[in-house]
Chains A and B, each alone.
Chain A
Amino acid sequence: MSADPAMTASPSGHGRQAAALEADSLRVCYAGLPAVDGVSLRVEPGQVAALIGETSSGKSSLALGVARLLPSSAVVTGRVGIAGTDLAELPAREARRRRASLVGYIAQDAMAALNPVIPAGRQIAELFRVHRGLRRADADAQAVHELARVRIDRPDRVARAYPHQLSGGMRQRVMIAMAMALSPPLLIADEPTTALDVSTQAEILGLVGQLQAETGSGILWITHDMGVVAELADVVAVMYAGRIVEQGPARDVFDHPMHPYTHGLLRTRTDLRTGRPGAPLYQIEGSPPALSAGRVGCAFAPRCPRRTEICGESAPELRTHDQNLQAGNALSGAGPAREFAAAASPQKSASAAGPAADARRSGPTGADLTATGWLAACHHPEVSS
């Protein structure tokens, strides 16, 4: 599984161009409990950012929070810029109108996400009627064109079919066509291949790669499938209990994960690939914590093999651990100026690292760093030199 070079190419000049997605301190709370607890994230145009983590780690809440698609019972705070626009700052009606041109959302279960009583093509055509003011016949024709764009043979037939008459892969293509119809700068894919068989999964991944090369959208790809990450992602963010615990260029995170949780996640995959038949699969002991307000200490500590006293006392900040930043990592903007002495010793306490890390996370430079640097939120990151 090798990534398409067109996709892995690092986007140049992102400082001048608005990021496809720039989330800053995003929080999503249900009934006062944080499902997403202060996440900052940046996806450049043409980049695939993979967001990985277990079920209930807050991935989907993050995705829906970014697209402002959560029900009103969810409280979303923080700034989310999509190609420079924050939907939350627009009046509700305008936000509603502009959302589809800014962000395409590909749901996990295409069967549920498509209306069962409306033909597939019509559901795409609606976009052109509402946003482009096309007449029904023209919008329908445009929908057929969009279906052809996602490599569907006989798109006219698929356009007339109802969702239940299509195969799982075909339904997901319809979803993708729908999400990309207005060529939004950001695509959010919420585990879109989970429900598909392996060969269909590969087709969909290939398709998304090709389409992205054509359109240059930024993609936030949510998954718990490491294979998908390896195939597609330029950068990876690992989420645990509502926070990002490690993020960085996909290759670095894969080869030298710093956070024990990332380590565990990757080990489950390594075992599947190289493990001897009959050998027990590696699994991370325990289960993720329930949502809670005012947690003290590291959320992963109860399951962590490297935990010490400090882990129960203070929550680690997301910060760089510089000795990992080797030349050639293509971390534009994260040069030696960001050398961070406090992180030199992994045993250093968070109280020392905290203020400095905070300084890095706030402001435009902080956001820039989160996009391109390699960071982990751990008191004892695994640091290889």
Chain B
Amino acid sequence: MARTLIRRVAFGVIAVLGVAALAFLLEFVVPGDPARAIAPRAQSAAVLENIRIQLHLNRPLVVQFADYFSELFRGNLGTSYVQRQSVTGLIMPRLATTGWLALAGVVAEVIIGGALGILSTLYARVRAVVAAVNLTLLSLPQFVVGLLLLLIFGFRLHLAPVTGGAGPAEIVLPALTLGLVGAPWYAQIVADQMADSLASAYVRSAVAKGLSDRYILWRHVLRNVLSPAITMIGMDLGAYLSGVVTVEVVFGWPGIGLLAVDSLQNLDRPVVMGTVIVGAVAVVAFNLIADVLRMYVDPRTREEPA
């Protein structure tokens, strides 16, 4: 188990570095001059050149690349071009803000999706309804769901704030948006796994043992659904932490996704790099955590691969 973990961590580090390298190169493909973005009204070429020299943008790409990664290995993500502030200092509060939203969103999609999946498995009468709901949610883009919720609960019913921000009242609608859009996937795997499990020989054994339906559902069936659900939760948490751009833009949620969008528009390369790297780390970390949790709930995954 320890060996598996070490290997997974090593792969994770390689993945993060690969993503960072790609992002770095990509920024130089994107047209635009950071110096002009920093000083849009500067008239003289000398001023712009001066800015480039300050930011080391005049050096060869290879040197800049080497510089950036040697700083990165020391844990330094650099300084924002625009905000004159360390990238780490900029990102960390945003990461926490997005973290709350990601967590709330995953909780929402697990509850909504889990309920839909369980209902459609246990009650044949609602199966068609659940399928229709799933299909509808799947085909609605995130921003449409978000704007709909905002219109109904914010502007019409005045139940939720519409001004943006990151308070406990403001989190409800964006989390619900993530929950609704993500729910069909959970509904599907829950329904599939439950159907497999209910048709299995071990559930027949449980029935033969005289256990009650409720007991069999909770102890025998849902435990077997947990493992794939955990994998998906890990993937979602990682992906959401690396930026739920659409939802953050629609609801004015000041998270890492908004920061990434702003920085891209400002050609604020160090901040863009920072958000990409933090996002990659989040994805790797949460997938790893999900794997470890799976080993806990499913003993079959504990064994070392031969």
Contacts and interface: CB of A to CB of B under 8 A. Distances in A.
Say if A and B assemble together: yes
Nearest to B199: A71
A110 to B, nearest CB: 9
Interface string B190-227: 00000000001110111111111001000110011001
Interface in A96-151: 96-101, 103-105, 107, 109, 112-118, 123, 126-127, 130-131
Sorted from nearest, which 4 A-B pairs have the closest CB atoms? A112-B201, A100-B210, A162-B299, A113-B201
A69 interface: yes
Interface in A73-113: 96-101, 103-105, 107, 109, 112-113
Contacts of B207: 69, 96
Interface string B221-243: 00110010000000000000000
A115 B220 contact: yes
B209 A113 contact: no
A147 to B, nearest CB: 16
A116 B205 contact: no
A99 B208 contact: yes
Contacts of A103: 208
Interface residues of A, number: 30
Given A109-B201, A178-B209, 13 more contacts: A96-B207, A96-B212, A99-B208, A100-B209, A101-B210, A112-B200, A113-B202, A113-B204, A115-B224, A117-B223, A117-B224, A118-B219, A131-B210
Q: Which of A103, A116, A131, A165 has the most CB of B within 10 A?
A: A116
Nearest to A101: B210
19 contacts: A69-B207, A96-B210, A99-B210, A105-B208, A109-B201, A112-B202, A113-B201, A114-B202, A116-B224, A117-B223, A118-B223, A126-B209, A126-B211, A130-B210, A130-B212, A131-B210, A164-B300, A165-B299, A175-B205
Q: How large is the interface on B (under 10, 10 to 19, 20 to 34, 35 or more residues)?
A: 20 to 34
Contacts of B215: 130
Interface of A: 67, 69, 96-101, 103-105, 107, 109, 112-118, 123, 126-127, 130-131, 162, 164-165, 175, 178
B201 A118 contact: no
A117 B208 contact: no
B220 A130 contact: no
B220 A107 contact: no
A164 B227 CA distance: 16
Contacts of A109: 201
Contacts of A96: 207, 210, 212
Interface in B231-278: none
B170 interface: no
Contacts of A131: 210
